[in-house]
Structure formats: C-alpha cells, structure tokens
Amino acid sequence: MSKEFSYTIEEVSQLLKVSKLTLYDLVKKGELPVFRIGRQMRIDANDLNTYINRQKNNQSTMAQPFEPKRETKDPFSIVISGQDMVLDILGRYIERNSPYHALRSYTGSLNSLISMYNGKMDIVSLHMFDGYTGEYNVPYVKKILVSRPYILLNLLSRRAGFYVKKGNPLNLTSWADLRRRDIRIINREKGSGARILLDEQLRINEIPSGEIIGYDQEETNHLSVASAVSTGMADIGVGIEKAAKIVGIDFIPLITERYDLVMIKNDSTELLINTVKNILSSSQFRKEIDSLGDYDTSITGEIIYETF
C-alpha cells in the first residue's frame, strides 16, 4: 500500500476495486475505522492495512456487489434487481416462504428492465419518471417489454429530491435552481431512476444539460451521491430521502415516486408471482418496511398494471 498517512473513501474504493457503498457498509458495521477532517471522512493507512490483513487471515475479501450470472439451470434461483435495502428484505421473505433462492443485482432501473426483456432478470424494481405523462414506470414497461406478458406491483412510495449541505446554504428549492451557475452537481449513471428523473426535469424546465457544472460527473448509487455532497465534492445531487438521513445532510423533497416491481407472467413464474403478492399484502412485511422510516406502504401490493 501507499505510504500516505490516510485515504479518502474514494481513494480506498479505487485501491481495493470495490464500490463506495461497500465501504460505507463496512464503516457502519464498525469493521473499518474512520475519522473526519472537517466534513471529509478518512481512513488511516494503518487501519486499512489491519483490515486487509485480517481479511487475508480469514481467507475472505471484500467484494463489490456482483451481477449474478445465470449459469445454473436451477428453476428456483431468481435474480432481484435494484439498490433499495427493502429489496434485501423482500428477498429474505421470498426465501422464507417459498423454495426460491434470491440473488441480488444492483443495476439501475432502465438497464434492469432491458435485461428482463432479454431473460436475465426475474424481479425488477423500477422508479422511472415519464415527464410527458407525469406517471412512473408504466410508460417505460409498455415500451420495453413489448410482446411480453407481465405484472407490475407496487412495492412502496418514497420521496425523491435534492441532496444539499447542512443548512442548505445555497437555498436550493426547485428544479429551476439548476439553471444557476454557482452550483456544482453530482449525477447518477445513465439508466438509473434518479438520472431519468433529472433528465426529464431538465427537459420540462428547458435547462440544457451542457450548461450544468458537474453533469458528467457520475456515481452509481444514492449513498455515493449523498456523500459527494456531504464532503463538498458537489453542492447538489438527486436521490431519495433515506440516503440523505444515513449520510447526515439535508434533503429537499420535490416529488413522491412510486417504486414498483415488474415480473414476467408465464407458467413457470406463477408460483413466484403469487409468493410476491402474498408477501406484499402481509401486515408483517409492511410493518417491517414502515419501521425503517421514510417509506409509504399505503398502496404496497396494489396491481399497478397487468397484461392479460
């Protein structure tokens, strides 16, 4: 390792070839000590080496969230795509109440939906805003899952908006503020729901993306965007409320997004669909989601759209 005294989360992410989300999880669990210089989180070089050596001794390594490969013909191995922690809870309920084994993919909404069209995903979570209709998800599913029978169920609703520094010193309150030349944004990757929301709002408000400072700077998850704002790498980012509270920055709510699940309908998926329906309609599942805070389960389990 380098002889530098300490590293930023970004530097450790590059050194170990893992996502920053993985590192934040290790920090949260207390497995990787950190300290702060101002608002910046740093990792002591000795602490990092200690962690690496401990992992070597345990014959284990940190792994970046992987894209499960469908090499097995096991009909009960399924892939759930999306980043929200609620999907991990859903996977646990599925395994508890059915013969299925749930694998996780952390790909964004649009790319996951395309993968489903190509037969590589079993449950895809979606939060894609369509500015022409003001609706979430249905317009995209109709266009991409052409000729495929499917069902779209609501998982939950949640607020999306701006991540800003504590106290909102630049007084950022609306999409129109993105016209300002004194702010730097941190963006999400193409195909993510947050990126689609931003791009649709830029189109609606007639704001050229080329005029936005930082538009081409991308992160691949909500926590990394929120962290970039927290550490001063950016003044503003777009994401969900939960990540802002985890990182400890302010959140400006701008829209309530419907977070849905889509599944292909055929004879082989009938058991999976019924399992998910039963889970989403159970009071136990809803209570567990409600206990997390920042989620609305009032229409959880409702059929949003279904082909026949």
Q: Is 76 left (phi over 0), alpha (psi -120 to 50) or beta?
A: alpha
Q: Token pair for residue 232? A: 């001063």
Per-residue pLDDT 10s for the chain (308 aa) are 334 467 787 778 777 767 666 777 687 677 888 887 765 678 887 888 788 877 766 644 333 444 454 544 567 899 999 999 999 999 999 999 999 999 999 899 999 999 999 999 999 999 999 999 999 999 999 999 998 999 999 999 999 999 999 999 999 999 999 999 999 999 999 999 999 999 999 999 999 999 999 999 999 999 999 999 999 999 999 999 999 999 999 999 999 999 999 999 999 999 999 999 999 999 999 999 999 999 999 999 999 999 98
Question: Own/partner pairs for 133-138, CB < 8 Å, 24+ apart?
Answer: 136/257, 136/258, 136/260, 137/258, 137/260, 137/262, 137/304, 138/304, 138/305
CA dist 211 and 132 (Å) reads 23
pLDDT of 39: 56
pLDDT of 30: 75
CB-CB contact of 238 with 228 (8 Å): no
Tokens 């109440």 appear where? 97
Look up residue 286 and give its DSSP letter.
Answer: H
CB-CB contact of 166 with 136 (8 Å): no
pLDDT of 61: 38
CB-CB contact of 105 with 70 (8 Å): no
pLDDT of 237: 98
pLDDT of 18: 74
Q: Token pair for residue 225? A: 């965007």
